[in-house]
Amino acid sequence: MNPTPIASIAPPSRRLIIAITGATGAIYGVRILDTLRRLGGVETHLLISSAGWLNIQHELQLTKDDLHARADVVHSVRDVGATIASGSFATDGMIVAPCSMKTLASIAHGLSDNLIARAADVTLKERRRLVLLVRETPLNLAHLRNMTAVTEMGGVIFPPLPAFYNQPASIDEMVDHTVARVLDLFALGPALSPAWPGLRGATD
């Protein structure tokens, strides 16, 4: 008996879910979208929480149209029937940038109480890459425990802390460096962040 024919063995296009929540640092989510658009080849699915919108307007003075134009698909956080709410919809993973402590808690406890938390839940259950640019300071024990829980489930906690070893000349350079490190975790192509060349002579 012939096996059931397979319509196509072509791999699905690369897809990433990007969520922007209400922590300070909306620029990280926006720059990730801009970088993916510039690179091409990745279908972006954008989610923005209500508090995320507040911060986008306050920190970046962008409108909804400005944001929506940067993504291929925009989902309402209330649309728990969206494609990305199901594991059957293949993606390469999800980035929450920035990630508030509230959304971190929701993901850590598997609440799936909006589409951001549900898509993150799906990403973890399907063993896909989940990267959270958590932002708060100082941190209380609940924050730390929630980060541990997400790490134990396979997620990556990636606080957007600027590096100084590359001697950045501007905030833009600091943001771009973090964005490159985040996207490199998804191995979308050649590395975006240059490999550390080592400190020549530093130990002599």
Ligand X SMILES: Cc1cc2nc3c(=O)[nH]c(=O)nc-3n(C[C@H](O)[C@H](O)[C@H](O)COP(=O)(O)O)c2cc1C
> From the annotation, which residues make up the binding site for dimethylallyl phosphate?
165, 181
Residue closer to ligand X, measured from CB, 96 or 179: 96
Which residue's Cβ lies closest to ligand X? 22
Secondary structure of residue 197 in the 3-state scheme: coil
Q: How far is the CB of 176 from ligand X (least distance, A)?
A: 20
Secondary structure of residue 125 in the 3-state scheme: helix
Give the pair of three-digit tokens for residue 174. Answer: 């600091």
Q: Is 142 in the site for ligand X (CB under 6 A)?
A: no
Q: Is 101 in the site for ligand X (CB under 6 A)?
A: yes
Q: Is 35 in the site for ligand X (CB under 6 A)?
A: no
- Give the whole-angstrom CA distance, residue 143 versus residue 92: 26
User: Taking contact as CB under 6 A, which single stretch among the options 17-25, 67-75, 85-93, 189-197 is the one that binds ligand X?
Assistant: 17-25
Listing DSSP states for 56-116 in one string gives HHHHH---HHHHHTT-SEEE-TT-TTSGGGSTTS--SEEEEEEE-HHHHHHHHTT---SHH
User: Taking contact as CB under 6 A, which single stretch among the options 16-24, 146-154, 168-176, 178-186 is the one that binds ligand X?
Assistant: 16-24
CA-based end-to-end distance of the chain: 72
Give the pair of three-digit tokens for residue 74. Answer: 């925009």
- Give the whole-angstrom CA distance, residue 188 versus residue 42: 8
User: Taking contact as CB under 6 A, which single stretch among the options 68-76, 79-87, 97-105, 120-128 is the one that binds ligand X?
Assistant: 97-105
Query: Under rule CB under 6 A, how many of the chain's residues touch ligand X?
Result: 16
Q: Is 23 in the site for ligand X (CB under 6 A)?
A: yes
Please check whether residue 68 is in contact with residue 40, taking contact to mean a CB–CB distance below 8 angstroms. no
Q: How far is the CB of 116 from ligand X (least distance, A)?
A: 7
Residues in binding site: 22-24, 49, 100-103, 135, 165, 181
The conformation of residue 203, written as its DSSP 8-state character, comes to T
Q: How far is the CB of 53 from ligand X (least distance, A)?
A: 9
Secondary structure of residue 151 in the 3-state scheme: helix
At residue 133, φ and ψ (nearest 5 deg) are -85, 75
Q: Is 174 in the site for ligand X (CB under 6 A)?
A: no
User: For residues 49-68, which are near ligand X according to CB under 6 A?
Assistant: 49, 51-52, 54-55, 58
Provide the binding-site residues for ligand X, judged by CB under 6 A.
21-24, 49, 51-52, 54-55, 58, 100-103, 135-136
